[in-house]
DNA sequence: TTGTACGCGTTATCAG
DNA sequence: CTGATAACGCGTACAA
């Protein structure tokens, strides 16, 4: 018995192509193509015949070939810093939904907060001839040449949430300023008189905006923010804890804290509870992002919701506009979403005081 | 008025192709191709010349064309029920990392727990000529014909976590039984004598396994589980709360609870605290999934970690094996990952009693 | 309304 | 070792 190395037992199973349909029906491929793409120059009868056979043979278009021909695919490239936590998965969720509704699939790449990787991701997407590139910048991205290639190939480029500062780009962002303004105002209206701020890295525009919203809310209430009440960090849990300790060591500690991120506020909360300081009676808290855990802590945390799904949907909508608009490269559009403040126990002075 | 450098529509900026390199160097495209793909039949000198020019002109290969020619792309299709929460993002994270290391990009599709959508997703991926399909089933998927097309095209198909029951498929799963066994044994070793179980829907194999692990752990300690100590639900937070109330109403309430999911255990914890019952002194708790919030609750929750990233990595590894193995369609491989118990305060009797 | 022929960028086969 | 040539599947001027 001869040893069989290449056994053909599993038929390589051919995908049925337009040529197959053409041969079967005795017409040209052009006719097939027109019937399938609903072209106007086609007889109604012929069209029906083609469509019928296509269904019968379960014809599936080869997107690759079409993409090669037309120079681009029905793929949307997305670059995000990471996909853990709540924010980016939710945004991607929104992107995915809107994209698939418009007939696009989505490729997701992570930059892991690394410009190098971000650069490579963009290359990868261009090589895949994506129809559009949707980006949220890595934390340490300071120069943006790698995106010029995208634009110069005429591929729609939309930034969301983390956008290049001061650049004229297509972008979808949350009104971080407004969110911070709301949150801080809320704290003041609850009776806080010394509100501190846990600020994030100021080279990221979102953290700039949040800080400014905080400052302006104070100003609107006739208050100014002493230097020592604004503490800068990367907003991790431990950063927030550290910041809170620092604030408590002040001659006059704050009676309210607005954090530019929920993790930082969580750290602050832990420190406060550990030291027996009551929340919200002694110190009220409000954060940013409306992370899942804000509804789990005790007390639950007031936070600004970022409308994640909507941001994703808006990003895709903007892409679609650019993809169809003839002057796409010239019009740089900005979309600004309004945040929503979720008020929970950590900032409700009166209510909790009654308990 | 600044000079405008970026005028994409004016200069649609063609990507440089192999033909360009060939023309420039006065050699044939074949030579270019060989130089770039590190073929053996190529002069070292020629190769260097080609590579140098490629760098200089910033040549980027057109994956689409290569894919068309070879019949498949360097894309990996992933179908998951959803991408919210912790589990699937983490698994995708693992997939992404392993995939990109092997030179593959990832397309993520969501089935939204709907077979119809799952079917369409699979079609989409096949149309994109992906190199492999990685699937975690929708909750209500009971028949699996749509996956036959994948196999019959000779495309590697790997299921992870949610796999078809009783089918012979390539799969990567967690040893849920082992995890439940560990968690329950741990509670018993901490001194619990009446351990209850919050069980999940029993038509899902993972919840069956977890229940069985619980039962066997009891048996191994010479205990049997009274009917009333096992409560079935969908394991949402409120389900867990309801179940806990039910358990507390028993003539002899439990002194430990193992939940088949962290959300359920969270609900239980909230009820216990509200009723002034101490955790872990009066009732010890252990959950499953090691969700992010387990480190945030007070006390922190003991939980079984599902090795999410590793599951993703293992899934890709299995795909790579199948992609290279000649007998791929015939060998159906199963990979079983060992879970890891993260012990936290909610189950540490002695330690906390000292405090 | 339909068919012919070519090109998208790459790889595989065969000749030299 | 190198080169010419033919596919891969589809879209689209151009001709009929």
A141: nearest Cα among A109, A167, A163: A163
Residue A10: inside a domain = no
Residue B62 per-residue DSSP state: -
- CA-based end-to-end distance of chain B: 71
- H helical segments located in B29-114: 29-36, 44-56, 63-70, 87-101
Residues A118 and A128 in one domain: yes
Nucleotides of D strand lying within 7 Å of any protein CB atom: 1-13
Residues B256 and B217 in one domain: yes
Do B109 and A105 lie within an 8 Å CB cutoff? yes
The CATH number of whichever domain residue A138 belongs to comes to 3.40.50.2300
pLDDT band with cut points at 50, 70 and 90 for residue B9? very low
- Look at residue B185 and tell me whether its pLDDT is greater than 70: yes
- The pLDDT of residue B142: 85
Residues B113 and B141 in one domain: yes
B16 touches strand C (CB under 7 A): no
Percent of chain B as helix, strand, coil, to the nearest 5: 45, 15, 40
Residue A2: inside a domain = no
Residues B271 and B317 in one domain: no
A36 touches strand D (CB under 7 A): yes
Measured from Cα to the C1' atom, the residue closest to C9 is B65
Residues B241 and B270 in one domain: yes
Residue B137 and residue B118 in contact, taking contact as beta carbons nearer than 8 Å? yes
Torsion angle in degrees (nearest 10) through CA of B283, B289, B292, B297: -10
Residue B77: inside a domain = yes
- Percent of chain B beyond pLDDT 90? 66
Cα separation, B303 vs B87, in Å, equals 14
- The pLDDT of residue B271: 97
Residue B6: inside a domain = no
Which of chain B's residues have a Cβ under 8 Å away from the Cβ of A152? 6, 8, 11, 13
* Other CB atoms within 10 Å distance of the CB of residue A165: 11
Do A110 and B93 lie within an 8 Å CB cutoff? yes
Percent of chain A as helix, strand, coil, to the nearest 5: 45, 15, 40
Give the least confident one: A47-56, B177-186, B232-241: A47-56
Residues A346 and A207 in one domain: yes
| Largest interatomic CA distance in chain A | 95
Coil vs helix vs strand at B285: strand
- The pLDDT of residue B6: 40
Between B8, B83, B298, which is nearest A89 by CB?
B83
Indicate the pairing of strand A340-342 with strand A302-305.
antiparallel
* Best-predicted range by mean pLDDT (A25-29, B105-109, B302-306): B302-306
Tell me the per-residue pLDDT of B125-137, one tens digit each, with 9 for 90 and over.
888 889 999 999 9
Residue A293 per-residue DSSP state: G
Between A10, A60, A266, which is nearest B126 by CB?
A60
- Taking the CA of residue A225 and the nearest CA in chain B, the distance in Å comes to 31
* Other CB atoms within 10 Å distance of the CB of residue A281: 12
pTM score of the predicted model: 0.85
- Taking the CA of residue B117 and the nearest CA in chain A, the distance in Å comes to 11
- Look at residue B117 and tell me whether its pLDDT is greater than 70: yes
pLDDT band with cut points at 50, 70 and 90 for residue B326? low
- Two tokens at B210? 């977890």
The CATH number of whichever domain residue A26 belongs to comes to 1.10.260.40
Coil vs helix vs strand at B184: helix
Cα separation, B70 vs B60, in Å, equals 18
- The pLDDT of residue A129: 87
Do A293 and B298 lie within an 8 Å CB cutoff? no
Residues A129 and A268 in one domain: no
Residue B252: inside a domain = yes
Residue B52: inside a domain = yes
Residues B245 and B164 in one domain: no
Residue A45: inside a domain = yes
Residues A253 and A318 in one domain: no
- The pLDDT of residue A350: 60
Residue A8: inside a domain = no
* Other CB atoms within 10 Å distance of the CB of residue A222: 7
Measured from Cα to the C1' atom, the residue closest to C11 is B69
pLDDT less than 50: residues of chain A: 1-10, 351-355
The b-or-e profile of B132-162 (16+ CB within 10 A means b, else e) is: bbbbbbbeebeeeebbebbbebebbbbbbbb
What does each C-alpha distance from B195 to A19, A261, B226 come to in angstroms? Answer: 66, 39, 10
Residues A189 and A276 in one domain: yes
Residues B334 and B345 in one domain: no
Position with higher pLDDT, B100 vs A241: A241
Coil vs helix vs strand at A137: coil
Number of domains in chain B: 3
Measured from Cα to the C1' atom, the residue closest to C6 is A69
Domain boundary among B5, B40, B67: B67
Segment B228-236 mean pLDDT: 95
- The pLDDT of residue B177: 98
A68 touches strand D (CB under 7 A): yes
The b-or-e profile of B345-355 (16+ CB within 10 A means b, else e) is: bbbbbeebeee
Residue B319 and residue B158 in contact, taking contact as beta carbons nearer than 8 Å? yes
* Other CB atoms within 10 Å distance of the CB of residue B127: 17
Which of chain B's residues have a Cβ under 8 Å away from the Cβ of A326? 9
Instruction: Give B233-247 as a DSSP string.
Output: ----HHHHHHHHHHH
Residues B347 and B223 in one domain: yes
A227: nearest Cα among A235, A236, A218: A218
- Two tokens at A51? 């469509």
Nucleotides of C strand lying within 7 Å of any protein CB atom: 1-5, 7-13
- Taking the CA of residue B137 and the nearest CA in chain A, the distance in Å comes to 18
Segment B212-228 mean pLDDT: 94
> Residues 6 or more apart from B304 whose CB is under 8 A from it?
B179, B180, B182, B183, B286, B287, B288, B289, B290, B339, B340, B341, B342
Do B75 and A128 lie within an 8 Å CB cutoff? yes
Cα separation, A296 vs A291, in Å, equals 10
Cα separation, A187 vs A174, in Å, equals 21
- H helical segments located in chain B: 18-25, 29-36, 44-56, 63-70, 87-101, 115-127, 148-152, 176-189, 205-220, 237-248, 262-274, 308-324, 349-354
Query: What residues form DSSP beta bridges with B263?
Result: none
Residue B27's region, left for phi above 0, alpha for psi from -120 to 50, else beta, is beta
- Domain housing B26: 18-67
Q: Which residue has the tokens 């809170």?
A: A244
Instruction: Give B207-234 as a DSSP string.
Output: HHHHHHHHHHHHHHTT----GGGEEE--
């Amino acid at each position: 018995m001869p040893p069989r190395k290449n056994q053909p037992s599993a038929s390589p199973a051919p995908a049925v192509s337009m040529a197959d349909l053409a041969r079967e029906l005795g017409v040209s491929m052009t006719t097939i193509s027109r019937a399938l793409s609903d072209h106007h120059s086609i007889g109604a009868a012929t069209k029906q015949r083609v469509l019928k056979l296509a269904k019968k043979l379960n014809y599936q278009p080869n997107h690759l070939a079409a993409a090669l021909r037309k120079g681009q695919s029905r793929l949307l490239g997305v670059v995000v810093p990471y996909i853990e936590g709540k924010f980016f998965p939710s945004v991607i969720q929104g992107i995915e939904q809107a994209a698939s509704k418009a007939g696009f699939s989505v490729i997701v790449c992570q930059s892991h907060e690394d410009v190098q990787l971000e650069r490579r991701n963009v290359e990868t997407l261009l090589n895949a001839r994506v129809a559009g590139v949707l980006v949220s910048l890595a934390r340490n991205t300071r120069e943006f040449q790698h995106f010029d290639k995208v634009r110069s190939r005429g591929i729609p480029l939309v930034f969301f949430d983390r956008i290049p500062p001061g650049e004229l780009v297509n972008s979808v962002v949350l009104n971080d300023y407004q969110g911070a303004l709301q949150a801080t105002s809320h704290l003041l209206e609850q009776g806080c008189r010394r509100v501190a701020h846990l600020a994030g890295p100021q080279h990221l525009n979102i953290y700039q905006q949040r800080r400014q919203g905080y400052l302006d809310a104070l100003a609107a209430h006739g208050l100014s923010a002493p230097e020592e009440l604004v503490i800068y960090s990367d907003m991790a849990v431990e950063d927030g804890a550290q910041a809170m300790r620092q604030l408590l060591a002040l001659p006059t500690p704050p009676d309210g804290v607005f954090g530019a991120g929920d993790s930082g506020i969580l750290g602050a909360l832990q420190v406060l509870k550990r030291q027996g300081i009551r929340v919200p009676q002694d110190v009220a808290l409000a954060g940013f992002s409306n992370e899942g855990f804000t509804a789990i802590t005790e007390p639950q945390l007031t936070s600004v919701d970022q409308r994640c799904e909507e941001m994703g949907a808006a990003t895709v909508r903007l892409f679609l506009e650019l993809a169809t608009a003839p002057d796409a490269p010239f019009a740089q559009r900005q979309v600004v979403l309004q945040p929503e403040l979720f008020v929970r126990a950590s900032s409700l002075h009166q209510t909790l005081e009654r308990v």
